[in-house]
């Protein structure tokens, strides 16, 4: 357990030091929210109807920005080789990287998501549900994105490859996350959508480290 904690602390420091931490993702998230009214019009009724889906789409796209360097820096300087030969399995390293990615990028994005949604016209009563769904969904986005980051190791255009791999896998949390907020705002039963979103994130948490470790071993071989 202490070894996993050391790995997590190392990865959290690396994540915060990689390009300024979550600043780039938060800035991109805010820019998307600023540009959306210019695209769909400034009508409060129209913005309010698209706010949940737009906030979740921006959240998924912002999550992509910090994925390229998740494994690449360790792969380039040989640290990944040392981690693969160390006492901790690569699955534990991948788990630490995914959790650090979620805490350093997913959690700040979840905090900003209600602000963006309210700015787009969502009601203040939706703020707790937006935050909870974004925090849960962000966990799935981090580990699913980590799979794409590991699979792209060694490629020249890693960022493009990550987007191609990951964006189709981001569709379920975007659908379920927006569904949670829509159902809650309409007074419908929001628990099934939240259950599906939680199941997606738990599956990504359970299977993501295994897939990431397998992809890293393949890149190192």
Output the pLDDT for position 119: 78
pLDDT at 192 over 60: yes
Output the pLDDT for position 16: 67
Output the pLDDT for position 37: 73
Output the pLDDT for position 7: 76
Burial state string for 141-158 with b = 16 or more CB within 10 A and e = fewer than 16: bbbbbbbbbbbbbeeeeb
Mean pLDDT of 72-77: 82
Place 200 in a pLDDT band, splitting at 50, 70 and 90.
Answer: very high
Tokens of 80: 């990944």
> For residue 91, which of 221, 219, 205 has the smallest C-alpha distance?
205
Q: Is the pTM of this model over 0.85?
A: yes
**Longest CA–CA separation in the chain, Å:** 58
pLDDT at 1 over 60: no
pLDDT at 84 over 70: yes
CA distance 137 to 140: 5
Per DSSP, 90 falls in state H
CA distance 51 to 49: 6
Alpha helices (runs of H) in the chain, residue ranges in sequence order: 2-17, 23-40, 44-64, 69-77, 79-85, 90-101, 107-119, 127-151, 158-166, 171-186, 191-220
Output the pLDDT for position 176: 93
pLDDT at 155 over 60: yes
Mean pLDDT of 108-122: 83
């Amino acid at each position: 357990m202490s070894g996993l904690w050391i790995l997590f602390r190392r990865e959290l420091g690396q994540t915060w030091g990689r390009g300024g931490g979550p600043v780039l993702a938060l800035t991109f998230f805010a820019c998307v929210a600023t540009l959306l009214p210019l695209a769909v019009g400034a009508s409060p009724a129209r913005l309010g109807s698209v706010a949940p889906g737009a906030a979740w789409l921006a959240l998924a796209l912002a999550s992509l920005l910090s994925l390229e360097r998740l494994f690449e820096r360790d792969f380039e300087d040989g640290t990944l080789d040392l981690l693969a030969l160390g006492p901790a399995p690569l699955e534990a390293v991948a788990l630490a990287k995914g959790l650090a990615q979620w805490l350093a990028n997913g959690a700040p994005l979840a905090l900003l998501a209600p602000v963006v949604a309210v700015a787009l016209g969502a009601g203040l009563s939706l703020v707790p549900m937006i935050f909870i769904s974004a925090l849960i969904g962000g966990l799935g986005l981090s580990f699913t994105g980590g799979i794409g980051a590991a699979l792209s190791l060694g490629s020249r255009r890693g960022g493009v490859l990550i987007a191609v791999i990951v964006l189709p896998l981001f569709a379920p949390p975007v659908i379920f996350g927006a569904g949670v907020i829509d159902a809650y705002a309409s007074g419908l039963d929001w628990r099934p959508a939240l259950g599906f979103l939680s199941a997606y994130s738990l599956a990504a948490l359970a299977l993501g480290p295994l897939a990431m470790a397998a992809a890293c071993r393949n890149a190192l071989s």
